[in-house]
Amino acid sequence: MLKEFKEFAMKGNVLDMAVGIIIGAAFGTIVNSLVQDVIMPPIGLLLGNVDFSNIFVVLKEGKVAGPYASMAAAKSAGAVTINFGVFVNTIISFLIVAFAVFLLVRTV
């Protein structure tokens, strides 16, 4: 059974898939950096110095009462938050990846 698994794992399709997954994970990291470090800062600047990663709503205050200056401060105080800004960044990252995959599939 071990020999059969080794033969299966060494087939071209499985190795190709493994390479694709690794490259895809690296691409996701690049897209995440693109969104957080390149796209969102100018958008935040245009909207009046908004830092999207710090847009959150406190559902329940933590051990130290708010208001909290940042999401990190709220989390360190033990507050329960809804992190809208992080969600917006994630949606933009997804749209960029989806568009890149669309362009790749369209050309094939």
Q: What's the CATH number for 2-107?
A: 1.10.1200.120
Phi, psi of 18 (to 5 degrees): -60, -45
Average pLDDT estimate for 54-74? 89
The fraction of the chain above a pLDDT of 90, given in percent, is 14
User: Does residue 88 contact residue 51 with C-beta atoms inside 8 Å?
Assistant: no
How far, in Å, CA of 28 to CA of 25, rounded?
A: 5
> Token pair for residue 74?
């709220």
Is it the case that residue 81 has pLDDT exceeding 90?
yes
pTM, 2 dp: 0.63
